Structure 1
Amino acid sequence: MVFYVNSKENNSSQEIAFFLKKCILHHPGKWSELVFLCIGSDRVTGDCLGPYIGHQLLDRLDLQDIYVYGTLKDPVHALNLEKVSRMIRSIHPQSLVIAIDASLGQKKHLGYVTIADGALYPGAGVQKELPPVGDIHITGIVNISGVLEQLTLQTTRLSTVISLADTITQGILNYTNSLICL
């Protein structure tokens, strides 16, 4: 099941926290760590959603057993995704991986966040074949899919990306802050 959250709504970060918790509870296995794998490039406006979220989380998360890969300073992208995925499985074998990436979608979903169980297929919107990653995934729909997807990502409004990133980050922080209260 895929959950859609309109990032422009007042309670969107609370909804993201709620749906993230719901997806995490579907993975009651033997995981003992959370890994946020934030995918994208800081060189393409529409693709910098993941690294920007990673940058924000790295500065604001202070819980043990929660790790962040993919930031503005050290992005995870098509050229190093497989290597970083192998490293995560090696360093964090008991982890639940939450993959985060920008995506393209229908016009009616522009500015929406999706949260779902299952792997993320990064690069699918721009016809790149990359390995699936994550146990749960979060995407921010930064622009409309159609023709010339790579150009579409390059000409995506930064304000859309920042707004989505801020909302997703706050949703994740709302979820992790609820862990402190337990």
Structure 2
Amino acid sequence: MNPIEVHYKNSFAAIKIGHYLAEHIRSNTAIICIGTDKCIVDSLGPLVGTMLTKENIEIDIYGTLDKPVHAINMNEYIKTIKSKNYDNVIAIDACLSSKKSQGIVEVREGPITPGKGIGKILPEIGDLSIIGIVDSNDKDFYNLVQDTRLSFIYEMSEVITEGIVTAVNMNDMIGREEACIL
């Protein structure tokens, strides 16, 4: 399936994300939300993880504001996830790109390479990726940290969360329809 790119302010963003993910989310799916709450620009993943845990969906969620998945503990989480033999792992992370791409959410097949935008070498993770472009990669780190608003990251996290919940609900609806037919 071709990747999708949608601006988080697009009124259909959550529906587009949900529609793409619906065919990939199964009962044995995990979501790993990468980032840290110590830096606003990198808090997209943990915010999504926290929001998803409040939705009480029946998917294993790794990475929240209280228990973030970041460079220091990522290898431990990857071992745990691999040991559970999930059908699908969806990885979520913030990303840096060009200024004109800021606010774009990209959903695609394939893993995320966390830390790549800031020169870190970390292992790839995920069968599917959800990337939120949070700022420009042409800024130095100090300006990047100072210029990123929490409200922007929070709103993008809400849209991604709504998209995932939409996908889960679509699958639940299809499952109930199939049960009625049988």
Common fold, TM-score beyond 0.5? Answer: yes
Listed one character per residue, the Cα deviations across residues 92-129 of structure 1 (whole Å, up to 9, x for unaligned) are 21331000000111112111100110010000111100
* SS in structure 1 at match of 2:96: strand
User: How far apart, in 2, do the equivalents of 1:154 and 1:102 lie?
Assistant: 16
| Structure 2 residue 164 is the aligned partner of structure 1 residue 152 | no
Aligned residue number for residue 180 of structure 2 = none
Does the 8 Å contact 2:19/2:167 carry over to 1?
yes
| Structure 2 residue 28 is the aligned partner of structure 1 residue 33 | yes
Does the 8 Å contact 2:57/2:165 carry over to 1?
no
User: Would the alpha carbon gap of residues 83 and 150 (structure 1) be closer, same or farther in structure 2, given more than 3 Å must change?
Assistant: farther
Q: From 100, 109, 112, give the equivalent of 1:117.
A: 109
Listed one character per residue, the Cα deviations across residues 54-112 of structure 1 (whole Å, up to 9, x for unaligned) are 0000110332xx1100000000000000110001111x213310000001111121111
User: How far apart, in 1, do the equivalents of 2:3 and 2:119 lie?
Assistant: 21
Question: Where do 1:60-71 residues align within 5 Å?
Answer: 60-63=55-58, 66-71=59-64
User: Would the alpha carbon gap of residues 121 and 77 (structure 1) be closer, same or farther in structure 2, given more than 3 Å must change?
Assistant: same
Aligned residue number for residue 54 of structure 1 = 49
| Structure 2 residue 5 is the aligned partner of structure 1 residue 4 | yes
Question: Where do 1:30-109 residues align within 5 Å?
Answer: 33-63=28-58, 66-90=59-83, 92-109=84-101
User: How far apart, in 2, do the equivalents of 1:124 and 1:150 lie?
Assistant: 18
User: How far apart, in 1, do the equivalents of 2:27 and 2:10 lie?
Assistant: 33
Q: Return 5+ residue gaps in structure 1 as ranges.
A: 26-30
User: How far apart, in 1, do the equivalents of 2:50 and 2:19 lie?
Assistant: 22
User: Would the alpha carbon gap of residues 163 and 13 (structure 1) be closer, same or farther in structure 2, given more than 3 Å must change?
Assistant: same
- Normalising by structure 2, we get a TM-score of 0.89
Does the 8 Å contact 2:111/2:127 carry over to 1?
yes
Amino acid at match of 2:90: I
Does the 8 Å contact 1:44/1:154 carry over to 2?
no
Percent identity for Structure 1 against Structure 2: 35
Q: Return 5+ residue gaps in structure 2 as ranges.
A: 175-182
User: How far apart, in 2, do the equivalents of 1:7 and 1:147 lie?
Assistant: 22
User: Would the alpha carbon gap of residues 97 and 154 (structure 1) be closer, same or farther in structure 2, given more than 3 Å must change?
Assistant: farther
Larger radius of gyration: 2
| Structure 2 residue 119 is the aligned partner of structure 1 residue 127 | yes
- Normalising by structure 1, we get a TM-score of 0.89
Q: How many residues align?
A: 173
Amino acid at match of 1:170: E
User: How far apart, in 2, do the equivalents of 1:133 and 1:54 lie?
Assistant: 16
